[in-house]
């Protein structure tokens, strides 16, 4: 086993950085705010879980980037975790000699009690020891073979998710029959008890282990079947996914339906922006403008209030909104055809703000309503059935998302899609090969804008009113973040990113003050752990993991030589 002093110095400095991150999120108020939500009753809450995950991350990073065998990796993880504990303990020591509350409003006695396990400065050794244990566990995660690490990770993750959403799950499972039996087996009225957490962990562990062991056999059996039978299996899988998607609002209730509609709207915008950024390589920070154009078009054409101009139905107005958004994309692309890189991002950002300020301006108030917005947008109606609430509008969103995803997939595999990807890699080479960059760019902006316009049209009827403040720059940033996290250029990645960055924060609405801090942390973690995204496109996966065949999960042996980063 080969080690060096510089390597251990980097382990300590890295652990201290993680400890500084733990102190930062504590002073930002996250630990105390999240501490009110217990994951497992009497065992751990969300605030302490956050600190534990930071310690695990310190140990994982130190062990993964080191040289040597299992014992060396374990020692590195333990040392990094202890260093992280030292960094967090410095906050306790500082609070004992300085009035931190005068500088940081969140440095409350409750926070210091959480960090020190209720012992004050006497808890410093305990904090360091807890960090060392967490770091050692993070190192162990790098040593376990994939067949063990995968099921363990799945069990822990599902248990945390069940504890995190225990109130919502109890509401969903409160009906009689098998639902009630599952609820009584897992939960008690106060939340998730240790026995319920252990039961969930063991069930998921066993199911994951069995599936992981049988997955190659099942896949091999399917690949050996004749093509008609393979198509039948894929069709059955598709039908199962459709059935789950259709039954989600019925099983989840009104709140889940509301969250699913928002996820669907961001999926529509993500598919459009993914076409521009992921396929064509055109960074657009003003994408919310097309969302606003689609919403205002439907609102003005359908509203029964003061600013309604046609009193059309939603179904008649939606195609017009798509066309208007498409034309807006073409017009938007004309002035910026020769702009690249950071300048393109700045120019597109300006366009998004221009649309919002125009809708907000007093000059256009007679037509767009100004800050008062457009009111009385009617709900869609088909044959006397009114899509009155989120549970009904969800199905419109679902159908639109499926349609747009199908169109995006066909575009990706078409000649135009290949031209977009060639332009993304190198515009000069693409032009030298005969690709008309003007046409290709305008089509990217126009079609992407039309996708977002459809999302805006549904958004208008969901709320029944439109206000300029609903179309801020942060929406564009959120959409860009979700396609990065999901996987640039990946259509399934857009859905995964929407669920992760839109659905999860909506379910944790009481902690929405920390949403953008979580976004930043998620992006940093993604760049370190999965730079290609949660569900990357095959080409991106090949570029970033050239040594791994696509579709094959590379497993690390228990003790391997680790290359220092």
Confidence of residue 550 (pLDDT cuts 50, 70, 90): very low
The pTM assigned to this predicted structure is 0.82
- How many helical (H) and strand (E) elements, i.e. helices and strands, does the chain have? 24, 4
**CB-CB contact of 533 with 501 (8 Å):** no
Confidence of residue 237 (pLDDT cuts 50, 70, 90): confident
Element (H, E) at 381: strand 381-382
pLDDT digits (tens, 9 = 90+) for 95-108: 888 888 888 888 88
Confidence of residue 219 (pLDDT cuts 50, 70, 90): confident
Query: Please, what CATH class does the domain formed by 237-544 belong to?
Result: mainly alpha
Q: What is 26-59 written as a DSSP string?
A: HHTTHHHHHTTSEEETTTEEHHHHHHHHHHHHHH
Domain boundaries, the chain: 5-188, 237-544
**What mean pLDDT comes out for the span 119-145?**
92
Q: Percentage of residues in the chain with pLDDT exceeding 70?
A: 93
Confidence of residue 228 (pLDDT cuts 50, 70, 90): confident
Strand partners for 466: 374
Question: Mean pLDDT lowest for which of 293-302, 326-335, 338-347, 431-440?
Answer: 338-347
To the nearest 10 degrees (0 to 180), the angle between helices 124-143 and 5-27 is 120
Element (H, E) at 386: strand 385-386
Cβ contacts of 208 within 8 Å, gap of 6 or more: 150, 151, 154, 155
pLDDT digits (tens, 9 = 90+) for 370-398: 888 899 999 999 988 899 889 999 999 99
Q: Percentage of residues in the chain with pLDDT exceeding 90?
A: 45
- Mean pLDDT for the chain overall: 86
To the nearest 10 degrees (0 to 180), the angle between helices 146-164 and 194-224 is 130
Sign for the pseudo-dihedral over CA of 125, 131, 137, 139: negative
Confidence of residue 134 (pLDDT cuts 50, 70, 90): very high
SS3 359: helix
**CB-CB contact of 336 with 344 (8 Å):** yes
Element (H, E) at 378: none
HSE of 136 in the Cβ direction (CA atoms, 13 Å)?
A: 10
Q: Which of 484, 523, 481 is nearest to 502 (CA)?
A: 481
Identify which has the larger pLDDT, 330 or 218: 330
pLDDT digits (tens, 9 = 90+) for 441-457: 999 999 999 999 999 99
Element (H, E) at 559: none
Sign for the pseudo-dihedral over CA of 499, 352, 533, 44: negative
Residue 552: pLDDT over 70: no
């Amino acid at each position: 086993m080969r080690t060096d002093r510089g390597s251990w110095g980097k382990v300590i400095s890295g652990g201290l950085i993680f400890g500084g991150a733990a102190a930062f999120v504590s002073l930002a108020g996250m630990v105390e705010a999240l501490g009110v939500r217990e994951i497992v009753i009497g065992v751990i809450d969300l605030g302490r879980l956050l600190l534990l995950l930071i310690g695990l991350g310190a140990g994982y990073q130190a062990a993964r980037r080191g040289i040597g065998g299992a014992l060396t990796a374990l020692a590195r993880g333990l040392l990094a975790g202890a260093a992280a504990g030292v960094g967090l303990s410095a906050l306790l020591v500082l609070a004992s000699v300085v009035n931190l509350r005068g500088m940081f409003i969140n440095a409350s006695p409750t926070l210091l009690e959480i960090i020190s396990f209720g012992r004050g400065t006497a808890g410093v050794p305990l904090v360091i020891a807890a960090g060392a244990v967490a770091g050692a566990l993070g190192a162990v995660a790098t040593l376990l073979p994939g067949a063990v690490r995968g099921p363990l990770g799945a069990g822990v993750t599902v248990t945390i998710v069940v504890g995190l959403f225990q109130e919502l799950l109890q509401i969903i499972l409160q009906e009689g029959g098998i639902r009630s039996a599952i609820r009584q087996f897992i939960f008690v009225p106060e939340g998730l008890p240790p026995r319920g957490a252990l039961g969930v962990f063991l069930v998921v562990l066993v199911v994951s282990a069995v599936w992981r062991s049988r997955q190659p056999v099942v896949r091999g059996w399917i690949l050996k079947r004749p093509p008609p039978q393979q198509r039948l299996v894929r069709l059955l899988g598709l039908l199962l996914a459709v059935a789950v998607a259709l039954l989600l609002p019925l099983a989840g209730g009104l709140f889940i339906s509301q969250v699913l509609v928002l996820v669907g709207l961001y999926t529509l915008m993500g598919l459009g922006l993914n076409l521009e950024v992921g396929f064509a390589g055109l960074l657009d920070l003003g994408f919310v403008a097309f969302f606003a154009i689609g919403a205002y078009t439907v609102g003005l054409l359908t509203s029964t209030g003061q600013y309604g101009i046609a009193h059309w139905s939603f179904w008649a107005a939606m195609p017009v909104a798509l066309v208007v958004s498409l034309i807006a994309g073409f017009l938007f692309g004309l002035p910026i055809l020769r702009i690249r890189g950071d300048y393109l991002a700045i120019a597109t950002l300006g366009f998004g703000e221009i649309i919002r300020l125009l809708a907000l301006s007093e000059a256009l108030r007679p037509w767009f309503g100004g800050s008062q917005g457009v009111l009385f947008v009617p709900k869609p109606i088909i044959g006397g059935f009114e899509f009155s609430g989120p549970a009904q509008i969800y199905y419109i969103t679902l159908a639109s998302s499926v349609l747009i995803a199908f169109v995006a997939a066909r575009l990706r595999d078409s000649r135009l899609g290949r031209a977009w990807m060639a332009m993304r890699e190198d515009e000069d080479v693409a032009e030298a090969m005969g690709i008309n960059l003007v046409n290709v760019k305008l089509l990217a902006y126009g079609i992407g804008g039309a996708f977002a316009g459809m999302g805006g049209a549904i958004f208008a009827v969901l709320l029944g009113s439109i206000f300029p403040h609903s179309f801020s720059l942060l929406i564009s940033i959120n959409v860009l973040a979700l396609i990065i996290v999901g996987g640039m250029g990946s259509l399934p990645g857009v859905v995964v990113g929407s669920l992760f960055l839109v659905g999860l924060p909506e379910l944790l609405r009481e902690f929405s003050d920390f949403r953008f801090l979580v976004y930043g942390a998620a992006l940093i973690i993604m760049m370190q752990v999965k730079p290609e995204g949660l569900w990357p496109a095959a080409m991106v996966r090949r570029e970033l993991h050239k040594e791994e065949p696509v579709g094959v999960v590379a497993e690390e042996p228990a003790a391997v030589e680790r290359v220092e980063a």
